[in-house]
Amino acid sequence: MSDKPAVVCEGLSCTLPSGVQALRDVSFRLQAGGLTAIIGPSGCGKTTLLRIAAGLARATSGRIQFLRRDGSADPIRAGHLAVCFQDARLLPWRKVVDNVALPLELAGVGRRERVARAEAVIHAAGLDGAQSRLPAQLSGGMRMRVALARALVTDPTVLLLDEPCSSVDEFTRMQLDEEILRVWQDSGATTMLVTHSVSEAVFLADEIVIMRRARVHSIHRVALDRASRDRTSHAFSQEVELVMRSLAVAAGVVVP
Amino acid sequence: MSDKPAVVCEGLSCTLPSGVQALRDVSFRLQAGGLTAIIGPSGCGKTTLLRIAAGLARATSGRIQFLRRDGSADPIRAGHLAVCFQDARLLPWRKVVDNVALPLELAGVGRRERVARAEAVIHAAGLDGAQSRLPAQLSGGMRMRVALARALVTDPTVLLLDEPCSSVDEFTRMQLDEEILRVWQDSGATTMLVTHSVSEAVFLADEIVIMRRARVHSIHRVALDRASRDRTSHAFSQEVELVMRSLAVAAGVVVP
Amino acid sequence: MKRLSEKMREIAAPLIAVGVIAVAWEVAVIATGVSPLLLPRPTAIGQTMWMNSEMLLSATVQTAIAALSGFAIATTLGIIGGSVIAAVPVLRRSIYPLATIVQMVPLVAVAPLFVIWLGFGLPTAIAASAVVAVFPVLAATIDGLRSVDHGLREIFALAGASTWTRWRKLDLPASIPAIMTGLRIAAGLSVIGAIVGEFVSGYGGAHAPLGIVVMTAMREARTDLVFGAVALSAIVGFVLFGVVSIVGWLLVNRWHASGQSEMEIRR
Amino acid sequence: MKRLSEKMREIAAPLIAVGVIAVAWEVAVIATGVSPLLLPRPTAIGQTMWMNSEMLLSATVQTAIAALSGFAIATTLGIIGGSVIAAVPVLRRSIYPLATIVQMVPLVAVAPLFVIWLGFGLPTAIAASAVVAVFPVLAATIDGLRSVDHGLREIFALAGASTWTRWRKLDLPASIPAIMTGLRIAAGLSVIGAIVGEFVSGYGGAHAPLGIVVMTAMREARTDLVFGAVALSAIVGFVLFGVVSIVGWLLVNRWHASGQSEMEIRR
Amino acid sequence: DKPSSPGASGAAALVSIQVQLNWVPEPEFGGMYAALQDGLYSQAGMNVELIKGGGQVPCAQLVASGRVPFALVSAEEVLTMRARGGSIVGVFATFQENPMAFLLHEANPINTLEQLWRSNSMVGVNVGLPYVTILNEKYSGAGLKLVPYSGGLATFLVTPDSAQQCFIASEPVECKVRGVPVKIISMAEVFNPYAAVVATNEAFLKQNPAVVEAFVQATQEGWRRYLATPQKYNPAIVALNPSMSLEAMNIAAEIERSSIEPAAGKGFIGEMTAARWEALGKQLVACKVIDVCPPVNEAFVAPRAPAPSPAPAPTSTP
Ligand SMILES: Nc1ncnc2c1ncn2[C@@H]1O[C@H](COP(=O)(O)OP(=O)(O)OP(=O)(O)O)[C@@H](O)[C@H]1O
Ligand SMILES: Nc1ncnc2c1ncn2[C@@H]1O[C@H](COP(=O)(O)OP(=O)(O)OP(=O)(O)O)[C@@H](O)[C@H]1O
Ligand SMILES: [Mg+2]
Ligand SMILES: [Mg+2]
């Protein structure tokens, strides 16, 4: 896992063409091989941050760097950075299995292998039986799961997930969380997870970046041992409560 | 409020063109002026049910009826049934305010009045300042809030909401829940709310229909008084726990 | 399969329309007493076509060959050229507007060049057909490619897909509905292009193609034969149009809005 | 505003391309020694145009009036007709394929009808222009309307919007990018339609339009004048194309993919 | 307002008459422009408008359908239209000799129709004209490469051993002006219909015989004047068609004179005879353009010989 880069943001600001300042002086670090969650009110700049990290948008000032353990810059090879966007973005003419296998196809993986790998993640995403449906024949939650499966099917060094589980029920979400965890642990990818679920963040992340109005509000290190992250435990609830309070402040809610 | 119809589903089944059976023998009743939540795993048929209720899809068998208090059929006038779909469905060339005001515009409400009414819901949805942006200039969560605002801006007799709050953070969601509650109480609309959040369902609904694999798994009457629905109270947590267990069964999760 | 057979049934619809129009036309001509030299009756046209069926058949075959070849060339050049132009912004700004010129040149004016370069007969008719038909394909391809969803393009950019790969797997499939519009327009144009090409390029072998039949019949004031030949060229165009429509439908009906049947509120 | 001025700059690009092509052409003609009777040098064409500028200017104005009027008629009929056809499935199945015929009729063949119904000169040139240009607009409108997102249509259906309201507020705006493609194709066709119309209809006014100039110059083997007249007709076409493109861009750049600049991966 | 007896009411109400020409203003219509310029038509009580044509104007259909009272057509068009039921009538024949000919480069060894048709030259001809069929039958032009005449001269000029059909007062003049040595081979020996025939339609003729007669006479006089001094009238034609030079028009007028003017002492301008129409009809039937020749005496109204003295057109019919 020593080959996964750290992602370092320093003083990132981003003013969009419309004049909206989506990020102001955002600094934080995704630990190499770590899993960092980003939470914050709707519209606070999470997606913009993820897009800059993915190289799809340019920061107005500040910089973002991918660094190896030894401090040298890591020019991530194309295809080694996987993104699950907030909208599913499926190719409407491709079956589920071919949508999921797309990144492998583009990376030149042979047909048999990529179908096998795609079917494995499709199964993990609870989409058995939908392999040969077209996106239009899926429910909204299923479409998002296909998009997540497509991001997880590769063996990325950097994994950026933008609310991958927002449109599924709580139990499916837990199941998907397990899958994200598995992929992260297997691949050791440096992972950034944008989410609205505090309990999801606490369950999955090493660190939680709480954003507020285009800025980093606070950064919370999850104090729980990975082994002891049981959602039903008291410690877990306490941790969730803690983050929730920070988030409440970020969201401008008066905390009782 | 006596003019709001009850919605009665009897033995609804729906086989989609692809051969998927999205609903099997679904029966339940939306009380006139009541607020019913539908929860269930992703892909279990919630959206299909909502589409049939909205008249956008046809049931293969069974029937759905809109009934007045006196038992006569209520042919709901166009524009008196409002839907917030799972995807935002905004007109990309219209500003936020004009998207929200669209149903009023189509109902022939004058420009000044409809802008005023639209701005009020835009404010309640936490979208102040975004009135004159185009949909492409919004974040994912903001787009969904615009869609919700568009459904709430009319004075519907039947209100169908399909996961309106799934892509926002927990605090914005609470704020939106308050707004849904307010609109529901003001208009007395017979409301159906598809949601993935059990606590949202418990907070808002009179009854919770739990679906499983195209069928109604169980129907839960929320035992709490509306006045005493405090999310931090023990009674509330208990109620949530109760529904969660049913849902866990529906989702096929072994409950400890 | 059921839907494909439905599609086949759609072929019947224009035939019925043709029948209705023909009857209306017949009645109108008889009622208004317009001279058959200007507007012959459909029955007279049919009779003439029947009497000259052998000659007309061979003419139609020749013109169809020219039109089909021209259409094929226009399709190929239009899609390739359009893709290149869409991919290179400087070309799109400079060459694309100029490409309009290819459809604006009066063929008779450049006929001598065509004829010198390509010779008389079929080659010039094919070239004329291609020249007239290429711009719609080009324009539709360019506009289609430029309308591809940027979100989907990002998926390919992240995977490091080459422009060529992205074109094959995203841009082209996503543009098929637009390109089909271009091809539908080009279908008809390729036929008229072939006929005008025949006007200027001539006899081409023992039997005259439709363009020559039209010219000769016009000079001989055989209006019914003119209309018969025009009807046959229209049939060539219809068939091409129909094939394009069916192919387009087969390609996109499963995923594109245009392939889905219209929704209506049911309650 | 900055983006509009950028758009204006785009007008310069084809002009530069014209310059480059002209130089290449000049060199090629000199190098290959092709007869100026077949392919005159651009400088010779320029000279001839300059010497005949008055005559050519008035010819261009006349042809431009015909082409513009034809284009306007084609746009109106194409959009209205396309909307009606798209709205009524039975028409779409029966009439739409038949509509291809309007662009497939050799104008010379129906010229007598045109001239007799519409009279000499301008009216017939306008009609010819409209006939040639209408189908692309029609086809693009139909295909555009049929591609409107069904999800958005449901919003209107639920609000009980009439077909007319939905057309104004949803279908038409959503189809503008597609319609613009049709109009871009129609721009060039309307010019060639006007010129062919002039071939068959003669001219009413004192001065000959471009179609007549082309005809007479050909008869007199004044190839440089033929090319000069063709160049002027091309300019009319360009201007029309340019106006359509700019109008289209102004209408959709804020919301449609085609108006957004290309994304590239930055890291 | 319907045209009625012309000249009867003097200058009061001029009858409005349109004439559809089949080409742009050129010396082939010189007599009509001369009549216009000298006011012969208005003296005859007509306000004549010569509508400029464009090469593909459907003149025969226009006049047969009554869209215009007069149009210029060829004699074979009159017969074919009549054979198909069109009510067109020739009233004045401008060209007594077929003005269509073959144009060859001067250096070309071919000098006769027979030589040309038995050669394997490339010959540009209009598709669908009867003379091709006639020549084919007569000389079996098996080796000949017939190509469509596209209305231009460029192909001919760059191909020294080619030939193409021409109008004697047009393409040869252009070549002369350019200094390209050419020669022409007339096709009159095998196919000699009247050309630039002024035609009207039967209904108009029946209702306005006087108008037709007056028009024909004014045209006749116009031609007489034009052929006498074409230089006097050509500037006005150049003004209408600046693409042809005055020099070229003057040359053209000289060339066409012999085909228009009657040979000394024989006939008169515009004359038509039944024999010539009969002969044409036979040829058209022979080459299957028409199945049966319509009665030729109905196909034309021979113009009267002009009054011996060069007087203005008759202005009074009591
Ligand atoms: N257009 C369609 N064609 C074929 N199958 C469809 C179509 N739309 C939905 N389905 C299938 O119907 C079933 C029910 O879909 P529906 O959208 O009602 O689910 P849902 O409960 O709303 O799920 P989610 O919570 O993910 O939105 C799913 O299995 C889905 O795959
Ligand atoms: N293309 C755009 N043009 C202009 N403004 C934009 C654009 N995209 C986003 N914005 C604005 O930038 C801000 C940050 O947007 P972003 O998408 O990063 O929010 P987010 O935190 O992801 O929100 P959400 O949770 O709702 O997805 C918002 O105020 C949004 O309105
Ligand atoms: Mg976002
Ligand atoms: Mg759903």
Per-residue pLDDT of B195-227, as tens digits, reads 999 999 999 999 999 998 899 999 999 988 888
Residue nearest to atom 1 of ligand 2 (CA): B137
Share above pLDDT 90 across residues of chain C, in percent, rounded to a whole number: 45
- Asked whether the beta carbons of residue C219 and residue E128 sit closer than 8 angstroms, the reply is yes
Domain ranges, residue D70:
57-266
Please give the Cα distance from B97 to B129 (Å, whole number): 10
Q: Which residues of C touch E283 (CB under 8 A)?
A: none
- Asked whether the beta carbons of residue E128 and residue C37 sit closer than 8 angstroms, the reply is no
Please report which ligand is nearest the Cα atom of A127: 1
- Asked whether the beta carbons of residue A166 and residue B170 sit closer than 8 angstroms, the reply is no
Total CB pairs under 8 A between chain A and D: 12
Q: Do chains A and E touch (3 or more CB pairs under 8 A)?
A: no
pLDDT of B73 strictly over 70: yes
pLDDT of C154 strictly over 80: yes
Which of B127, B131, B138 maximizes ligand 2 atoms within 8 Å of its Cβ, making it the mutation to test the pocket? Answer: B138
- Tell me the whole-structure pTM to 2 decimals: 0.91
Query: Who wins on pLDDT, E213 or C102?
Result: E213
Mean pLDDT of C51-63: 91
Share above pLDDT 70 across residues of chain A, in percent, rounded to a whole number: 98
The strand pairing partners of A39, in sequence order, are A210
Which of A18, A165, A198 maximizes ligand 2 atoms within 8 Å of its Cβ, making it the mutation to test the pocket? Answer: A18
B129 lines ligand 2 (CB under 6 A): no
pLDDT of D135 strictly over 60: yes
Instruction: Assess if residue D16 is contained within a domain.
Output: no
Q: pLDDT band for D266, please (50, 70, 90 cuts).
A: low
Residue nearest to atom 17 of ligand 2 (CA): B139
Please give the Cα distance from E8 to D216 (Å, whole number): 41
> Do A127 and A146 touch, CB atoms closer than 8 A?
yes
Instruction: Assess if residue C8 is contained within a domain.
Output: no
| Tens of pLDDT, residues D66-95 | 999 999 999 999 999 999 999 988 888 888
Cβ contacts of residue C12 below 8 Å, gap of 6+? none
> How far from D251 is each of B93, B143, D4, D57, E115, CA to CA, in Å?
9, 22, 12, 32, 67
- Asked whether the beta carbons of residue A75 and residue D266 sit closer than 8 angstroms, the reply is no
Q: What six digits make up the tokens of E19?
A: 């004439």
* AA identity, residue C249: W
Q: What is the pLDDT of residue B1?
A: 44
Tokens 């869209």 correspond to: E67
pLDDT of C81 strictly over 90: yes
Subunits close to B (at least 3 CB pairs below 8 A) = A, C, D
> Do B192 and B50 touch, CB atoms closer than 8 A?
yes
Least confident of B38-42, C92-96, D107-111, E273-277: D107-111
Q: pLDDT band for B254, please (50, 70, 90 cuts).
A: low
Instruction: Assess if residue D201 is contained within a domain.
Output: yes
Please report which ligand is nearest the Cα atom of A141: 1
H/E segment holding residue E137: helix E130-139
pLDDT of B158 strictly over 90: yes
| Tens of pLDDT, residues E77-93 | 899 889 888 889 999 99
Q: What is the pLDDT of residue C206?
A: 60
Q: Which residues of E touch C110 (CB under 8 A)?
A: none
> Do C183 and C192 touch, CB atoms closer than 8 A?
no
Mean pLDDT of D4-9: 65
Q: What is the DSSP letter of D149?
A: -
Which of B139, B148, B168 maximizes ligand 2 atoms within 8 Å of its Cβ, making it the mutation to test the pocket? Answer: B139
Q: pLDDT band for E153, please (50, 70, 90 cuts).
A: confident
A157 lines ligand 2 (CB under 6 A): no
Mean pLDDT of D211-233: 87
Q: At what angle do helices B170-187 and B111-124 cross, to 10 degrees?
A: 140
Alpha-carbon distance D266 to nearest alpha carbon in chain A (angstroms)? 5
> Do D93 and C13 touch, CB atoms closer than 8 A?
yes
Which chain C residue has the Cα nearest residue D140? C181
Instruction: Assess if residue C75 is contained within a domain.
Output: yes
- Asked whether the beta carbons of residue E126 and residue C219 sit closer than 8 angstroms, the reply is yes
- Asked whether the beta carbons of residue D258 and residue C146 sit closer than 8 angstroms, the reply is yes
Alpha-carbon distance A213 to nearest alpha carbon in chain D (angstroms)? 25
| Tens of pLDDT, residues E253-269 | 998 888 898 877 678 88
Q: What is the pLDDT of residue B79?
A: 81
Least confident of B52-61, D112-121, E27-36: D112-121
pLDDT of D30 strictly over 60: yes
Instruction: Assess if residue D172 is contained within a domain.
Output: yes
**DSSP per position, chain C:** -HHHHHHHHHHHHHHHHHHHHHHHHHHHHHHHT--TTTS--HHHHHHHHHHTHHHHHHHHHHHHHHHHHHHHHHHHHHHHHHHHHHH-HHHHHHHHHHHGGGGTS-HHHHHHHHHHHH-SSHHHHHHHHHHHHHHHHHHHHHHHHHTS-HHHHHHHHHTT--HHHHIIIIIHHHHHHHHHHHHHHHHHHHHHHHHHHHHHH---SSS--HHHHHHHHHHTT-HHHHHHHHHHHHHHHHHHHHHHHHHHHHHHTTTSGGGSPPP----
Sheet with E70-73: strands ordered across: E46-51, E15-20, E70-73, E195-201, E88-95
A227 lines ligand 1 (CB under 6 A): no
Would you say how long chain E is, in residues? 318
- Chain C interface test: which of D142, D185, D244 (most C C-beta within 10 Å): D185
> Do A59 and A52 touch, CB atoms closer than 8 A?
yes
| Tens of pLDDT, residues A49-78 | 999 999 999 899 999 989 988 888 887 887
Which of A12, A14, A46 maximizes ligand 2 atoms within 8 Å of its Cβ, making it the mutation to test the pocket? Answer: A46
Q: What six digits make up the tokens of E232?
A: 């006097």
Alpha-carbon distance C201 to nearest alpha carbon in chain E (angstroms)? 6
Instruction: Assess if residue C20 is contained within a domain.
Output: no
Which chain A residue has the Cα nearest residue B194? A169
pLDDT of C198 strictly over 80: yes
- Asked whether the beta carbons of residue D199 and residue E24 sit closer than 8 angstroms, the reply is no
> Do B5 and B76 touch, CB atoms closer than 8 A?
yes
Q: Which residues of A touch D253 (CB under 8 A)?
A: none
**Centroid of ligand 1 to alpha carbon of C189 (angstroms):** 44
Q: What is the CATH number of the domain that holds C213?
A: 1.10.3720.10
Mean pLDDT of B180-209: 93
Give the total number of structural domains in chain D.
1
Instruction: Assess if residue D39 is contained within a domain.
Output: no
| Tens of pLDDT, residues A168-181 | 888 889 889 999 99
What is the rounded average pLDDT for all residues in chain B? 90
- Chain B interface test: which of A14, A21, A38, A42 (most B C-beta within 10 Å): A42
Which of A236-250, D204-218, D250-264 holds the top average pLDDT? A236-250
Q: What is the pLDDT of residue E318?
A: 38
Please report which ligand is nearest the Cα atom of A38: 2
Q: What is the pLDDT of residue D1?
A: 46
Q: What is the pLDDT of residue C204?
A: 47
B152 lines ligand 2 (CB under 6 A): no
Alpha-carbon distance A9 to nearest alpha carbon in chain D (angstroms)? 12
* AA identity, residue B116: A
Query: Who wins on pLDDT, B153 or D102?
Result: B153
Please give the Cα distance from B192 to E75 (Å, whole number): 85
Please give the Cα distance from C210 to C64 (Å, whole number): 9
**Centroid of ligand 3 to alpha carbon of B141 (angstroms):** 6
Please give the Cα distance from A177 to A231 (Å, whole number): 12
Alpha-carbon distance D119 to nearest alpha carbon in chain A (angstroms)? 52
> Do C195 and C63 touch, CB atoms closer than 8 A?
yes
pLDDT of E311 strictly over 50: no
Instruction: Assess if residue D5 is contained within a domain.
Output: no
Q: What is the pLDDT of residue E8?
A: 47
Q: What is the pLDDT of residue D6?
A: 66
Is the minimum CB–CB distance between C170 and chain A shorter than 8 Å?
yes
Least confident of A71-75, B64-68, B133-137, C156-160: A71-75
Q: What is the pLDDT of residue D3?
A: 61
| Tens of pLDDT, residues B80-97 | 899 999 999 999 999 999
Q: pLDDT band for E34, please (50, 70, 90 cuts).
A: very high
Which residues of E fall below an 8 Å CB-CB distance to D? Answer: 20-21, 24, 51-58, 61-62, 65, 67, 150-154, 156-158, 170-171, 174, 178, 240-244
Subunits close to C (at least 3 CB pairs below 8 A) = A, B, D, E
Q: pLDDT band for C5, please (50, 70, 90 cuts).
A: low
CB atoms within 10 A of CB D144: 28
Q: What is the pLDDT of residue D98?
A: 83
Please report which ligand is nearest the Cα atom of A56: 2
Q: What is the pLDDT of residue C1?
A: 46
Tokens 């074409």 correspond to: E230
**Centroid of ligand 3 to alpha carbon of A86 (angstroms):** 6
Least confident of A133-147, B217-231, D6-20, E294-308: D6-20
Q: Which atom of ligand 1 is nearest to the CA of A168?
A: 25
Q: What is the pLDDT of residue C114?
A: 78
What is the rounded average pLDDT for all residues in chain C? 86
**Centroid of ligand 3 to alpha carbon of A195 (angstroms):** 9
Alpha-carbon distance C208 to nearest alpha carbon in chain E (angstroms)? 10
| Tens of pLDDT, residues C116-138 | 778 778 888 899 999 999 999 99
What is the rounded average pLDDT for all residues in chain D? 87
Q: What is the pLDDT of residue E309?
A: 54
